[in-house]
Amino acid sequence: MEWKNTWFLLIMINISMTTGVWSEIRLEQSPSEVKRPGETVKMSCIISGFDMTSYYIHWIRQKPGRAEGKGLEWVSFISAPSGSTKSYSTSVKNRFTISRDNDVDQVYLHMNSLTAEDSAVYYCARDPQ
């Protein structure tokens, strides 16, 4: 599945918009971690301000040295509400696993067999719907 960088920019702008008068859409990634090649890490995305059971959630990443909003790479998505459909970029397939827990409004990215190529800032994003 091939995604264009402009599509991700629209998502990132969309997740910062507000809905209603006093609510705010928020997707917060877990803090930074430093890992060695071959190690494992599990990242979380805490969601608030909308009913996450209605939206696909994506993980995207930006490799070091890229200007903000440039060089974004789609990593994975999980369907709503059950998460029965998942998709991964070729670069992470069979190493990364996406999951969701609607009871606690979180989506996870479990990353196995890390490589130097996985070094990046990771973002979670909501489908614009």
Domain boundaries, the chain: 5-126
The average pLDDT across 99-115 equals 95
Q: Which CATH superfamily is domain 5-126 in?
A: Immunoglobulins (2.60.40.10)
* Residue partners of 70: CB distance under 8 A and separation at least 6: 5, 62
The pTM of this model reads: 0.76
The 10s digit of each residue's pLDDT in 28-84 is: 888 888 899 999 999 999 988 888 899 999 999 998 886 666 689 999 999 999 999
Distance CA 55, CA 44 (A): 16
Task: Give the position of tokens 């990593």.
Answer: 75
Q: What is the pLDDT of residue 23?
A: 57
How many other CB atoms are found less than 10 A from the CB of residue 61?
A: 21
